[in-house]
Each structure stands twice: as C-alpha cells, then as structure tokens.
C-alpha cells in the first residue's frame, strides 16, 4: 500500500535493489563528481541522500530540483560512500511532481525565526523543527489513548457545542445561526434565542468535564480527549483560544487516587515519547542547546532529555495551598518585594508564584491541593473545614499549571448550595445535579492541557508552536 517511507528505506539493507523515493527536497549540493539531493517525506527527521552524476540529466530538469520541490526518484539502494549515512540512492530517473521557485519559496535552507514560521503555518510542517514537533505530538496522543485503554478507561465523546455556561460565560465563543444583521427580538427588545438553531443560547465548550462526570457515573472510568475553546484574551505563551484537553473522570476515586493517577499518567506518556521519539527529541535538544549558547552558564537549563528523565524518575512534590503560601511568604523574592503580585492566603497564585515553587524552591513538579473555595469552581468537594476544596493543580517547570483537577462534590445539598452561591441558575444544570440525586458516588477527575504537555516534552517556549494551526486573538488564518 503506497510507497515505502523514507524511514523504512533508511533501515533497509542496501543490496543494489531498485527503490522509489517520493518526497520534498531539503537541499541540493553539487560537487565535481556528483550531485547530492537530500530528500525528506516527513516520516523521520533524517533525509535520504540521492546521488546523481553531473550531466546525467538535462540542465532544465536539474534546475527545477530546488529546495522545496517535490520529486519521485527511481534508483538503487546502495551502501553510502560518504559518512553521515549508511545507505544512499543511486539515481536512475527523476520525475518532478512540483517545483518550488527559489525566488519566492519562503523556506530556504537556513535558520528561520519561529515568529516568521508562524506566518507561514501552511509550510512550516516541512521544517525539521516542526515535523519533529508534529511527530512527537502524534506519539503523545497515541500514548494517551494507550494509557487509558490499558487502565480500563473508556473514551467518551463529549459535545463540542454546549448550552451550559457553567464555567464562566465570559470566556466562551458563541455558536449561532442567527443573522447578525437582522437579530430576532423579544417583545422586551432582547435577542430572541428561541429562534436560534437550538432554540437557546449555545457556545463552544470550555471543558468536557460535566458530561464526562455523567459517563463516569455509569462506566466508572472514562476520559475525553477533544478540542476545547476559550475566548480569554490572554496573549501568553501558554494559552490558545482552541486547544485539546484530556479529561479523565473516575467514579470511586478520592483526591489521593486522583493525584496518583495524574502523576503516573504524565510520567507514562513522557516515557513513551522518550522511547519512541529519540531522534526527534535529540534534534530538539540540540536546537535548544544552540539557543541557550547565548545565555550565561548558570542560567542554562538542563538538556531536554535530562529534564524529561528527571521528571519521570522523581516523585512529584505534594503539598497544600496553605503550605505553599507559607513558603512564598518566607521566600526571598517576597521579602525583597520582587513579586509583581501580592502573596497572602486567599490569592489565586499567579504564574510567578507557581514558577518560584517549582523552579526555585522544589526544583521538580509540584502538586498543590486544598485551595480556598472562593478561587475554585463550584463542583469541587468541600473540605471538612468548609474553607478549602479538594482541588489539585499539577505545576511543571517552565510551564506552570499543566493539570487542574479535583475530587467532585457528590453531596446534592452542598453542590446545590455552591451552584446558588456562585450565581448559576440550577435549572441550567438540572441534569448534572440529578447525578447527585440518583446513585451519587465519590468521584474525581482532572484536565490536562495537551499542548502544555507537548510544550514540556518538546521544550518549545511558545504554545503556538506545538499545534499545527494555532488559534489566538486576531489569528485564524490557516
Ligand atoms: P490557567 O490558569 O493556566 O489559565 P486554568 O486554570 O484556566 O489554566 P483549567 O480550567 O483548570 O485551566 O483547565 C485545565 C487545563 O487546561 C490547564 O491545566 C491547562 O493545562 C489547560 N489550559 C487551560 N487554558 C488553556 C488555554 N487557554 N490554552 C491551552 N491550555 C489551556
Ligand atoms: Mn485560564
């Protein structure tokens, strides 16, 4: 089925056998005795070298073989004469599928800035950096499904369009088929959403959790893995308007079980990448090391592979929010007034605080638990003291929050109380509340932002560079 991939060909034993290559030219180099064409089809970071003789083909044909052009090459697989590769292809025939005029083709064999590549997101998968990231992203997604499948979880598809605005209405993207130039009005002059497609206001989901819980109350262990949307106008290196979230939800899991699962899960998927993406990780590690050369020695971070192994090999630090606040209050940057935001019990930790804990104080991933109820969502289980909730955030070096989760409130009265307290109309959530009336059970879950995981594993600084076509404020071109 289809041609052999370059990845497979590079592993074959060279026996002069006929071989067909299909791919894009990365570079063409001419010497006195040979023309070297480095071809890549995206199956691996490595190019295959095709060797032609000067004069073997017409000038016209050879002039159309330029960086970015797409070729079919027929030849023979032979042992490589040069160093740097084991096999190469002795070219017999070249068919040019598509040229790429070097006067206008934007990707030339030189270093391009990540910012520039973002402007040509339709072509950037053809670079070494982005093809490596996309292969790693794939491997991680595969590992996610494999992990949960092995653990007896069921993949539940939760809806993308939702009518519940439970998670903070301001951050949602509206879904409508109403004519914005001719909005139907009620007698009072408000927009009449009864005439909208679903007969009510609908948005893109910010999380599959609430529906995920419905699944867990029947199948015990489920997970979702789908796109989520947040219209938060945060132009940070860690936020996208469209991102993929993995949300396991488990009946009969308490906060401890939830933490154990979260830690084991991230470690296992990172391990999968370490085993299966060696070449790509090595490439990215070298790329990062290059970038870091300009920094003074003591500011350089661990090499990528060491950083990943470190996270896999060491237990995450677990502590309560209250303990974390104490550490921050005693910290040097607090005493020297170096934090931009105030520290005190009750604050929503900002990323400078999280990063201090993870990168300076503990120097490893941290799981913070038992946050003040006021700064967390209504569905989190109240602690005995009534002041804190059974929340857990997993914080990673360089990333900050990678996972947010909690044990869920399973008590109907308490949950209803919280719903009213935060000003949600219980009627909008009648179906969610009913799970607490019919066979309620202790249960827990969490959400992992998939791109933040890919960011961590690839070492990329900006989340916009770990998703093929990023969506962020004022950008939805591709
Ligand atoms: P943050 O405080 O970093 O904005 P959050 O508290 O809003 O995150 P949650 O609502 O708990 O995040 O969502 C669960 C996970 O989804 C987060 O831990 C993070 O990994 C990821 N996440 C949240 N918002 C975004 C976003 N805009 N882009 C990418 N990933 C996100
Ligand atoms: Mn957020």
Kindly give the distance from the C-alpha atom of residue 184 to the centroid of ligand 1, in angstroms, as a whole number. Answer: 35
**Two domains, one topology: 6-108 and 126-171+206-465:** no
Kindly give the distance from the C-alpha atom of residue 238 to the centroid of ligand 1, in angstroms, as a whole number. Answer: 8
The predicted structure's pLDDT at residue 343 = 96
Upper half-sphere CA count for residue 462 (Cβ side, 13 Å): 14
Atom of ligand 1 nearest to the CA of 447: 14
Answer yes or no: is pLDDT of 312 > 90. Answer: yes
- The ligand placed nearest to the CA atom of residue 245 is 1
| Residue among 266, 262, 225, 257 nearest 441 (CA) | 257
Indicate the Cα dihedral angle 94, 96, 102, 107, nearest 10°.
-100
294 membership: H or E segment, kind and range:
none
Ligand 1 shell residues, CB under 6 Å: 230, 232, 238-240, 243, 245, 401-404, 447-449, 451-452
Reported as a single tens digit per residue, the pLDDT across 7-46 is 999 999 999 999 999 999 999 999 999 999 999 999 999 9
Question: How many Å apart are CA 57 and CA 76, to the nearest integer?
Answer: 17
CATH class of 126-171+206-465: alpha beta
pLDDT band at 170 (very low <50, low <70, confident <90, very high): low
Atom of ligand 1 nearest to the CA of 446: 14
Domains in the chain: boundaries: 6-108, 126-171+206-465
- What is the rounded average pLDDT of the residues 216-239? 94
Kindly give the distance from the C-alpha atom of residue 11 to the centroid of ligand 2, in angstroms, as a whole number. Answer: 45
- What is the rounded average pLDDT of the residues 287-315? 91
6-108 homologous superfamily: Nucleic acid-binding proteins (2.40.50.140)
pLDDT over 90, % of the chain: 92
- Contact 149/217 with Cβ under 8 angstroms? no
Atom of ligand 1 nearest to the CA of 232: 27
pLDDT band at 165 (very low <50, low <70, confident <90, very high): low
Q: 3-class SS at 345?
A: coil
Reported as a single tens digit per residue, the pLDDT across 51-72 is 999 999 999 999 999 999 999 9
Atom of ligand 1 nearest to the CA of 404: 11
Task: Give the burial class of 141: count Cβ atoms within 10 A of its Cβ; 0-12 exposed, 13-18 middle, 19 or more buried.
Answer: middle
Reported as a single tens digit per residue, the pLDDT across 404-415 is 999 999 999 999
Mutate to test the pocket of ligand 1, among 347, 452, 471 (most ligand atoms within 8 A of CB): 452
């Amino acid at each position: 089925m289809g041609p052999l991939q370059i990845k497979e060909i590079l592993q074959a034993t060279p026996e002069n056998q006929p071989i067909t290559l299909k791919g894009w030219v990365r570079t063409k180099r001419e010497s006195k005795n040979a023309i070297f064409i480095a071809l890549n089809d995206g199956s691996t970071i490595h190019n295959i070298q095709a060797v032609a003789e000067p004069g073997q083909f017409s000038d016209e044909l050879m002039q159309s073989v330029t960086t970015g052009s797409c070729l079919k090459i027929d030849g023979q697989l032979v042992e490589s004469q040069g160093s740097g590769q084991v096999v190469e292809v002795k070219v017999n025939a070249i068919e040019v599928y598509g040229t790429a005029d070097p006067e206008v083709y934007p990707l030339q064999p030189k270093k391009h800035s990540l910012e520039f590549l973002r402007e040509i997101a339709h072509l950037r998968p053809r670079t070494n950096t982005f093809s490596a990231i996309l292969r790693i992203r794939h491997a991680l997604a595969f590992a996610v499904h494999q992990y949960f499948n092995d653990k007896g979880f069921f993949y539940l598809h939760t809806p993308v369009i939702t009518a519940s605005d439970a998670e903070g209405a301001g951050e949602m993207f509206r879904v409508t088929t109403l004519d914005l130039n001719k909005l139907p009005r009620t007698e009072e002059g408000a927009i009449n959403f009864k005439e909208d497609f679903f007969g009510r206001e609908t948005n893109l989901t910010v999380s599959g959790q609430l529906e995920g819980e419905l699944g867990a109350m029947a199948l015990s262990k489920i997970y979702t893995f789908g796109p989520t949307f947040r219209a938060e106008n945060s132009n940070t290196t860690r936020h996208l308007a469209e991102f993929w979230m993995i949300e396991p939800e488990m009946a009969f899991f308490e906060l401890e079980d939830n933490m154990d699962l979260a830690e084991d899960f991230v470690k296992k998927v990172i391990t999968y990448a370490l085993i299966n993406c060696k070449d790509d990780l090595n490439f990215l590690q070298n790329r990062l090391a290059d970038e870091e050369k300009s920094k003074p020695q003591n500011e350089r971070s661990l090499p990528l592979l060491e950083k990943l192994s470190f996270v896999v090999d060491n237990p995450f630090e677990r502590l309560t929010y209250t303990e974390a606040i104490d550490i921050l209050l005693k910290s040097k940057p607090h005493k020297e007034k170096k934090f931009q935001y105030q520290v005190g019990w009750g604050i929503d930790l900002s990323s400078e605080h999280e990063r201090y804990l993870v990168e300076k104080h503990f120097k490893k991933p941290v799981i913070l638990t038992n946050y003040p109820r006021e700064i967390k969502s209504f569905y989190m289980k109240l602690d005995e003291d009534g002041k804190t909730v059974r929340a857990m955030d997993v914080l990673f070096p360089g990333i900050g929050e990678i996972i947010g989760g909690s044990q869920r409130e399973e008590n109907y009265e308490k949950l209803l109380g919280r719903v009213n307290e935060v000003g949600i109309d219980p009627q909008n959530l009648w179906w969610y509340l009913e799970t607490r009336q019919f066979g309620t059970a202790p249960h827990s879950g969490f959400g992992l932002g998939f791109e933040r995981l890919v960011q961590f594993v690839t070492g990329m600084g900006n989340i916009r560079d770990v998703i093929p076509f990023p969506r962020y404020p004022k950008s939805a071109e591709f």
